[in-house]
Amino acid sequence: MTASTANQAKGKKRKRVRGVGTGAPSWEMIALFILPAFLLYTIFMIWPLFQSLYFSFFEFKGLARGGFVGLRNFHELFTRYPLNEQLPNAFWHNVYFFIGTMLIQNTLGLLFAKLLYASRFGKRFFQTVFTLPYLISALVVGYLWSLMLNPLFGPVNQILRAIGLESLARPWLGDPATALPAIIFANAWQWVGFPMLLFSAGLAGISNELREAARIDGATSWKLFRYIELPLLLPVIGIVTVLTFIGNFNVFGIVWAMGGVNGEPAGATDVLGLVFYRTAFRGGVDAFGLASALAVLMFIFIFGVSMLMLRYFRHMEEKLT
Amino acid sequence: MSDHARTSSRRINLASIGANALLWGYAAIVILPLLLVVSNALRPTREIFKNPVGLPTSPSFDSFVKAWEEASFNIYFFNSLVITVVSVLLATAVSALAGYMLGRYKFRGSMLLTAYFLAGLMLPFRLAIVPLFLLLNDMGLIDNRLGLILVYAATGIPFSIFILSSFFRQLPQELSEAARIDGAGEFTIFGRIMLPLVRPALATVIVFQFVPLWNDFFFPLVLLRSTDKWTLPVGMTRFFGEFQADWSTLFAGLIITTLPLIVIFLLATKQIIAGLTAGIGK
């Protein structure tokens, strides 16, 4: 019996292999199909990424590449004023941005997904509405909210005054204490639909039998969520966390629109994306070397931490199953 | 028992009222600012300053005309449209070809090539801007729309190949075999038989590339110099400086920039959601 199943499996396997294997086109044909995408992708994306690493060890004079300088560009990043102050300042703002986004945007996304999973009516409507702002350019969202939060003519303060909360009205983007949180809010306003959709898909993937079984065992809705759904959502939570991390450490347009190229007020909204842009295109004569070094560090950090996060979540999943 | 049932059903009712209040509340936070943008674009700045939240008394499209003509939105819009459409078509065309070969056939190196293309989904391309700038400079493509198009097309390839190759893989083998017996060549099988069958995936790929490219700010900021080549997002930064005091026109500018995306969203909600959740769930 085992032999016959093995044979069957083998037969099936052979068949499938033949399906994709025979009639495989000639090398010329394969090249003809793949080369256009390969060249475009390699020349304009992959090759420049590798070159960044190479260039980070060279001195630049404007557009001209000079001699090999070892780690000097990296050293300059942390010692030359004002970079040595702007860089850590911006880095912690990115960390703050990430934590704030996780707490506000992704928690709301999970909450909405859970509420919509249970509701019968209007699911599609709410999903569509909540996802809508994702379409708008980050820059436009930034400008839109900077108008909304304008201290004099902005509707937000106007509404606060109208409902008697005048003490809360403030120059949101002019005050270093509220500027970055305001941007985090605007960014969450734009993106909340994304974690919501991912969590919705995750919830839909959980078998209803599990839910039934838990309910029969007398689990309350909260317990069902906490002990059944949440652990099973772990892979999605992992993906959302990593994507949020990558997105937040690359944030650029929305901060530019709300805080300008220097992250006003007084650098309170400065982030790594802006520092990188300023270093490369508003810096001194050796800007390109410094910017390449910064690109390498950001790449290693973003990629490295993403990998660590993925591993951590995989480890958590294994522990649970 | 009936008592218990009543309290629990009341609790469920309360919970569902709470849930609905939350959902509607947040929906208002999304929709009201958007409505306000429309309303304020239709009334003069003087009125907006007097009363930031309000409906237009006599709606007028003057601000749209002003943004379109005086603030050069006609030029920016045209540039954005040409650059985005050509980039998306180019990326989709080359990705369909490569995705077909990688999805349909196993050959030596095919797995490696697929991984090579998919790695692009994870890479922060903006960090490559310095070498990219120098490369385009050597090619004479700085301040040239073609340069931006090539970069954009390249960024669209990983996602497009990811989606298209998995769709091509799912198509039944018999179709191409029958065609091959009839003497059809590889390009005929690809173009006449396979490509029409992956139309839903093509729609997803096209819509999903269009949105970020239309909205992109970083690459045109760096790669385009002259204002007559600028796209909408870069033009927007100049516009917000120059028309600072003219809120009505500012709001109109926001709408003009976003309108094509709203149209796409209404036409292709399904594709957008499919793209956002690609690879998750069932």
Q: Is there a contact between A20 and B150 if contact means CB atoms under 8 Å apart? A: no
Q: What is the pLDDT of residues B229-270, one digit of tens each?
A: 999 999 999 998 888 888 899 999 999 999 998 888 788 777
pLDDT at B11 (0 to 100): 63
pLDDT at A8 (0 to 100): 44
Q: Nearest CB to B280: which of A24, A198, A252?
A: A198
Chain B CB within 8 Å of residue A159 CB: yes
Tell me what the mean pLDDT of segment A301-317 comes to.
92
Above 50 in pLDDT, residue A16? no
Q: Nearest CB to A140: which of B105, B150, B236?
A: B236
ipTM of the shown complex: 0.87
Nearest to B156 by CA among B245, B85, B104: B85
Report chain B residues whose CB lies below 8 A from the CB of A133.
Answer: 30, 34
Chain B CB within 8 Å of residue A43 CB: yes
If one counts every other C-beta atom within 10 angstroms of the C-beta of residue B214, the result is 24
What percent of chain B is predicted at pLDDT more than 70? 94
Asked if the peptide bond before residue B196 counts as cis, ω within 30 degrees of 0, the response is no
Above 60 in pLDDT, residue B4? no
Exposure string over A227-242, b if 16+ CB within 10 A, otherwise e: ebbeebbbebbbbbbb
pLDDT at A19 (0 to 100): 40
Above 50 in pLDDT, residue A20? no
Above 80 in pLDDT, residue A297? yes
Q: Is there a contact between A41 and B120 if contact means CB atoms under 8 Å apart? A: yes
Tell me what the mean pLDDT of segment B274-280 comes to.
68
In total, the C-beta contacts within 8 angstroms joining chain A to chain B are 258
Q: Is there a contact between B218 and A277 if contact means CB atoms under 8 Å apart? A: yes
Paired tokens of B141: 């493509």
pLDDT at A285 (0 to 100): 85
Report chain B residues whose CB lies below 8 A from the CB of A299.
Answer: 124, 127
Report chain B residues whose CB lies below 8 A from the CB of A22.
Answer: none
Closest CA in chain B for residue A188: B30
Choose between B18 and B146: higher pLDDT: B146
CATH class of A93-320: mainly alpha
Q: Is there a contact between B258 and A135 if contact means CB atoms under 8 Å apart? A: yes
Q: Report chain B's C-alpha Rg in angstroms.
A: 25
Question: Among A129-138, A187-196, A272-281, B269-278, where is mean pLDDT lowest?
Answer: B269-278
Separation between Cα atoms, residue A276 and residue A291, nearest integer Å: 6
What percent of chain B is predicted at pLDDT more than 90? 51
A1 to chain B nearest CA, in Å? 30
Q: What is the pTM of this model?
A: 0.87
Phi-psi region of A38 (alpha: psi -120 to 50; beta: other; left: phi over 0): alpha
DSSP string, A267-301: TTT--HHHHHHHHHHSS-TTHHHHHHHHHHHHHHH
Contact A125, A241 (CB under 8 A): no
Owner of token pair 């992708």: A41
Separation between Cα atoms, residue A63 and residue B134, nearest integer Å: 7
If one counts every other C-beta atom within 10 angstroms of the C-beta of residue A72, the result is 17
Q: What is the pLDDT of residues A58-115, one digit of tens each?
A: 999 989 898 899 899 999 999 988 889 999 999 999 999 999 999 999 999 999 999 9
B28 to chain A nearest CA, in Å? 9
Paired tokens of B215: 């909205």
B269 to chain A nearest CA, in Å? 8
Contact A236, A160 (CB under 8 A): no
Closest CA in chain B for residue A137: B215
Above 80 in pLDDT, residue B282? no
Report chain B residues whose CB lies below 8 A from the CB of A135.
Answer: 211, 258, 261-262, 264-265, 272
Domain definitions of chain B by residue range: 2-50, 72-242
B186 to chain A nearest CA, in Å? 8
Contact A241, A102 (CB under 8 A): yes
Q: Which one of 3.40.50.300, 1.10.3720.10, 3.90.1260.10, 1.10.260.40 gives the CATH number of domain B72-242?
A: 1.10.3720.10
Tell me what the mean pLDDT of segment B17-32 comes to.
92
Q: Is there a contact between A51 and B128 if contact means CB atoms under 8 Å apart? A: yes
Domain definitions of chain A by residue range: 93-320
Closest CA in chain A for residue B156: A41
Above 60 in pLDDT, residue A18? no
Query: How buried is residue A224: exposed, middle or buried, by Cβ count under 10 Å (0-12/13-18/19+)?
Result: middle
Report chain B residues whose CB lies below 8 A from the CB of A194.
Answer: 276
